[in-house]
Amino acid sequence: MPARPVPRLLALLLAAAGGLVTDLAFPDTGIWVLAPVGVAMLFLAGNRDAPWWNALLGVVWGVTFFLRHIQWAQYAVGDVPWIALSVLEALFVGVVMLVWTWVRRVPRIGRSVLLQVLSFSTLFVAGEVARSAVPFGGFPWGRLAFSQAESALGRLAWVAGAPLVSFAVAAAGALLAVAVLAMLRVQLITVGASLIAAVAILAVGLAVPLGTQAESGTLAVGAVQGNVSKPGLDAFENRREVLTNHVDGTYSLLDSVDQGDLDIVLWPENGSDYDPQVDAEAARDIDDAAAAVGAPILVGAQEFPESGGRYNVGLLWEPGVGVVDRYAKQHPAPFAEYIPIRELVRPFSSAVDLVTNDMIAGTEVGVVDLDSERLGRTVSIGDVICFEIAYDGLVRDSVAAGAEMLVVQTNNASFGPTAESTQQLAMSQIRAMETGRATVQISTVGVSAVIAPNGTIVSRTGLFTHEQMIEDVALRTSTTPAVAIGPAVPWVVLAATLALLVAAVGAGAQRRRERAAEVTGRGAPRSRPSAGRSAPKK
């Protein structure tokens, strides 16, 4: 699709503005339609046939997006880690734009608007897949899908998970860019077709059937947001106070229900920063609260094995019995819960030494089994701890293992009044739609919420408040297409990306052969007259 290259200064401005516009699609601003607009600005900026220049534009777009999007990292750990992480994630966007420039040189792709849109969207999602996996287990924050929790596009998660939602956003953005380029060339048919296709993509999710009805009964759930006295890294200086807040919040549930009315009470990550299995006082406080409400409590706590390190766990505490099941976080956050390459990182940030005891990864799928006397059976509850909600496989594995609802235990106290908590809530909404499971996000400080299986927020709390929620949560057992095919989706994306790369390499080799032949043809010496014959005179 030939087009006059965008002047370099304008291209830089478009890329920088595009990153900022894309972030406005995410909470707290939440204008979801701006996600494809921001992607369109990147597409337009990179229309020059200059691979490394376009890679730079991708980095610029990524830096402006991530610096704003994960500003909560600056609040929590300071400037250097925040900037370093933002630049690292931006490099993935740079690579996407580099490869995209090579791919669109393939003659068949260059001549087809449809193939350009499909190729660009595939590469963009491949970049998200890659940065969700590496380095140190990846960082999936800021995927386009997580901007669409309140849009029809978010419903596509039911079909093939977050990658499909991101693909649709990128495709809609590419189509908007195609429409702009066609408008500049006064190609009205292309303008109209591109805009109609973009609108169709934005609306196609309305056709996805999202069920909300209970399939295996309901659970009466109480959720306790205990709050802390001050936000930031020092929020847990007084661990006993935080535990007391959650104990008191559990007793407060009795203002709305009678003893025995609830099937389970949910506490957040670090609801008890003690291990009640070894701390007698914490055990007594938790057991008394569980006995008062007449229900087990899923307690967010810490375990400290004798071999060293610590586990971040969800402990299912039965009154009068103690721990009857547990889940240990499988994906500790690097540079937050454990410090890889500590000696190399320390010169850049002393914050690494705030983590004195590295967290260990759990090895079991996130499911805890609740023996429900009222239902007369065991209910499997999917447990996801904090940032794990961003990782496709961890959530999907819980549901594949039999989870009938999801619980996201999280601690957002370190991030203060930033958008981190609501960004996480949007991820929980996408996961509810993807898995067809009611989801409860319960935080120490908020925002906590009960989410229906169609992603709708049923109830929610404020930020840095002491609140409780009580809801009858639908239990479901059906398997969504996303859960069934989810493990294959990233591999399909990567296989398609590899095919595009092979095509680009082949096209590049063909171009080099043609140029070599052209040069040889221009530079070939004129044939000389045969010996014994006179050259013809002019």
Q: How many CB atoms lie within 10 A of CB 357?
A: 12
Matching residue, tokens 């990658």: 163
Select from 441, 416, 411 the least CA-distant residue to 427. 441
Q: Does the active-site annotation cover 386?
A: yes
Strand bridging mode 439-443 / 405-410: parallel
User: Is residue 455 a contact partner of residue 438, using CB atoms and an 8 Å limit?
Assistant: no
User: Is residue 70 a contact partner of residue 142, using CB atoms and an 8 Å limit?
Assistant: yes
Q: Does the active-site annotation cover 337?
A: no
Select from 302, 304, 328, 333 the least CA-distant residue to 414. 333
Distance CA 52, CA 46 (A): 10
With a CB cutoff of 8 Å and minimum separation 6, the contacts of 473 are 218, 219, 220, 221, 405, 438, 440, 450
The tally of CA atoms less than 13 A away on the side-chain side of residue 44 is: 29
Structure tokens at 329: 């976080």
Q: Does the active-site annotation cover 230?
A: no
With a CB cutoff of 8 Å and minimum separation 6, the contacts of 208 are 155, 156, 158, 159
Of 89, 128, 329, 434, the active-site residue reads 329
Residue 260 gets the label, from left (phi > 0), alpha (psi -120 to 50) or beta, of left
With a CB cutoff of 8 Å and minimum separation 6, the contacts of 16 are 60, 61, 64
Structure tokens at 419: 């958008």
Distance CA 258, CA 98 (A): 62
Of 337, 386, 420, 434, the active-site residue reads 386
**Beta-ladder partners of 443:** 410
Distance CA 93, CA 375 (A): 50
Kind and range of the H or E run holding 494? helix 489-523
Of 89, 128, 269, 388, the active-site residue reads 269
Strand bridging mode 218-225 / 467-474: antiparallel
Angle at 522 between CA 521 and CA 524, to 5 degrees: 65
Describe the chain by its helix, strand, coil percentages, rounded to 5: 50, 15, 35
Distance CA 426, CA 430 (A): 6
**Which residues are marked as active site?**
269, 329, 386
